Structure 1
Amino acid sequence: MARRLRCDVGFADSLLFLLGWTVLVVITFGLASPFFLFSLIKFMINRTIIVEE
């Protein structure tokens, strides 16, 4: 039985995510930018599913 990972991220989801973080970084004068990478990883993991064939 083969298992694969599939990420269900749509264009609108990723666009809103990036726009939200851009606004957050601008508002906090860049203080939120170190946390962007962790949030991006969490965003992708939360939308990843295991597909069994």
Structure 2
Amino acid sequence: MVKKLRCDVSFADSLLFLLGWTVLVVITFGLASPFFLFSLIKFMINRTVIEE
């Protein structure tokens, strides 16, 4: 059995994610920027499914 990973991310989801983080970084004067990478990884993992 071969299992494949498929990421169900639409363009609108990723655009809203990036716009939200951009606003957050601007509002906090860059203090939120170190947490962006962790949030991006979590965003991608939460939308990944395993197919058989």
TM-score (norm 2): 0.97
CA distance in 1 between partners of 2:8 and 2:47 (Å)? 6
State, as a whole percentage, how many aligned pairs show the same letter: 90
Moved over 2 A (4+): none
**Per-residue CA distance 1:4-52 (angstroms, 9 max, x = gap):** 00000000000000000000000000000000000000000000000x4
Question: What's the C-alpha RMSD, in Å, of the aligned pairs?
Answer: 0.7
> In structure 2, what is the equivalent of residue 5 of structure 1?
5
The count of corresponding residues between Structure 1 and Structure 2 is: 52
Please list every run of 5 or more consecutive structure 1 residues that lacks an aligned counterpart in the other structure. Answer: none
CA distance in 2 between partners of 1:34 and 1:2 (Å)? 36
CA distance in 2 between partners of 1:41 and 1:2 (Å)? 24
